[in-house]
Amino acid sequence: MAQQRNSGRQSGGQILGDLQGKLRSVTGGGSSWFDWVWIGGALIAGLVLMTTSFTAIEPGQVAVRINNVTGGLATVTQPGWITRLPFGIHSVYVLDASPQTFSMHGSKTVDDLEVSELTVRASDGSNFHFSDTTIIFQIAGDEAQTVVRDGGEERGYLKWMRPYARAILRDEFGRESTISVSNPTKFGEATERAKSRLNELLGVHGVIVTQIVTPRPQFNDEYEKLIEERNKLGNQLEVIKSNLAAAETSRERRLAEVNRDQNRSIQEKRTELESALATAIAAQADATREADTYKISKVAEGQAALSAAKQQAAELRGQLEANYRGRKAEIDAFRSQPVERVMERLGERLRGVTIAIEPWANDANPSRVEVEKVGGAQ
């Protein structure tokens, strides 16, 4: 089996031998210097084809392979070797996808990534500048074909940075006044707005801005002195605010202590009053119970006395009625008796009584009789 495989596959020496044999047959069979020249040229051509058919991609790089026959684009983001067909069939462009720096400083432009410093006209009409502004950007690896298509070969995309960055930074920082741009909060907001707008414009071309680093804006000397004075006053204001905050904290602490003490006093007084109220309620309940008991006993006594009085009254009424009936019977009986009997009875009643009769008129029937009590008789 090994011999069959070897017979079907020639070694490098055998190939050179076959080439020499063919050259000898062409040149008449003798060996000459032309054989070696032809072999050397073939080897050099092979090496050239091999070296030009492979392109190395280092870490931090991305490649775009263009098929010039079909017009197709392919993006390669993994480091390593990629193949390309010779004779202009494939074109390969290797781009730097690592973070890059675009700087604006100094008074003149050096290249596409180093230009003159940024000057801005504020919204109130004054001017200020940044001594050194840095924008960190990079190519989005999977958008490398967009970068090549829109920016051209090699580093054409770098030419976008200067006009876009300068225009957008001037626009966003120009919205602020000299007062607001000195405020770190407003300054940071303007920086973020500029970053968002740059990404909106450059992102469609495959470039991403990751960070914008700007120093404090600088003004003329007189205004710088005013800013410094303002910062001193601002520091004093912060100290005053801190003191006010400390005083407010102390005040709240003291108020809390006073409230705690007052709450404790109120709670103690409330407990005392609740205890007194409970005692008063208990005393009221006792007094009410005693009053109810006394009322019940007195009502019972009164009802018993009333019942006894009613019974006694009924008895007395019966006695009176019996006496009345007896007297009436006597009177009725007395009325039916003759005058002699009446006079006799009257005499018995008037025994021991002297009656003085003085006539007042010549009338046989006296109209006035005076009775004088003598002794125990009536």
Tell me the pLDDT tens digit for each residue of 212-236.
Answer: 988 888 777 777 677 778 778 888 8
Most confidently predicted of 72-76, 92-96, 203-207? 203-207
Longest dimension (CA), the chain: 228
Q: Identify whether 327 is part of a domain.
A: no
Q: Identify whether 114 is part of a domain.
A: yes
Instruction: Number of helices (H) and strands (E) in the chain: give both, helices first.
Output: 8, 13
Whether 34 and 144 map to the same domain: the answer is no
Whether 29 and 104 map to the same domain: the answer is no
Q: Identify whether 344 is part of a domain.
A: yes
User: How many C-beta atoms lie closer than 10 Å to residue 149's C-beta?
Assistant: 14
In tens, the pLDDT along 4-59 reads 333 333 444 454 455 555 555 544 544 456 556 666 665 665 555 555 566 767 78
**What contacts 95, CB < 8 A, 6 or more positions away?**
61, 62, 63, 64, 139, 144, 147, 148
If one counts the domains in the chain, the total is: 3
* Residue 373 binned pLDDT confidence (cut-offs 50, 70, 90): low
Q: How far apart are CA 285 and CA 314, in angstroms?
A: 42
pLDDT at 319 > cutoff 50 = yes
Whether 117 and 203 map to the same domain: the answer is yes
Q: Which CATH number characterizes residue 195's domain?
A: 3.30.479.30
Whether 206 and 130 map to the same domain: the answer is yes
> Which among 203, 219, 235 is the end of a domain?
219
Whether 103 and 214 map to the same domain: the answer is yes
Q: Identify whether 273 is part of a domain.
A: no
- Between 14-18, 327-331, 353-357, the lowest mean confidence (pLDDT) is in 14-18
More confident residue, 76 or 305: 305
Contact 144, 205 (CB under 8 A): no
Whether 107 and 188 map to the same domain: the answer is yes
> Which among 219, 241, 266 is the end of a domain?
219
Q: Which residues of 299-316 are buried (b: 16+ CB within 10 A; e: fewer)?
A: eeeeeeeeeeeeeeeeee
In tens, the pLDDT along 92-126 reads 777 878 888 999 988 888 888 899 988 888 887 77
Whether 43 and 141 map to the same domain: the answer is no
Q: Identify whether 178 is part of a domain.
A: yes
- Between 175-189, 217-231, 263-277, 295-309, the lowest mean confidence (pLDDT) is in 217-231
Whether 103 and 213 map to the same domain: the answer is yes
Q: Identify whether 237 is part of a domain.
A: no
Contact 92, 73 (CB under 8 A): no
**What contacts 212, CB < 8 A, 6 or more positions away?**
133, 134, 135, 136, 169, 191, 194, 195, 198
Q: Identify whether 288 is part of a domain.
A: no
pLDDT at 366 > cutoff 60 = no
pLDDT value of residue 330: 75
Q: Identify whether 146 is part of a domain.
A: yes
Whether 40 and 105 map to the same domain: the answer is no
Contact 140, 128 (CB under 8 A): no
Q: What would the mean pLDDT of 70-95 be, rounded to a whole number?
A: 70
> Which among 169, 202, 219 is the end of a domain?
219
pLDDT at 376 > cutoff 70 = no
Q: What is the mean pLDDT of the chain?
A: 77
More confident residue, 268 or 147: 268
pLDDT at 2 > cutoff 50 = no
Q: What would the mean pLDDT of 299-307 be, rounded to a whole number?
A: 88
pLDDT value of residue 368: 59
How are beta strands 100-105 and 90-96 bridged, if at all?
unpaired
* Domain that residue 108 falls in: 99-219
Q: How far apart are CA 106 and CA 88, in angstroms?
A: 44
pLDDT at 239 > cutoff 80 = yes
Total-model pTM: 0.47
Q: How far apart are CA 295 and CA 307, in angstroms?
A: 18
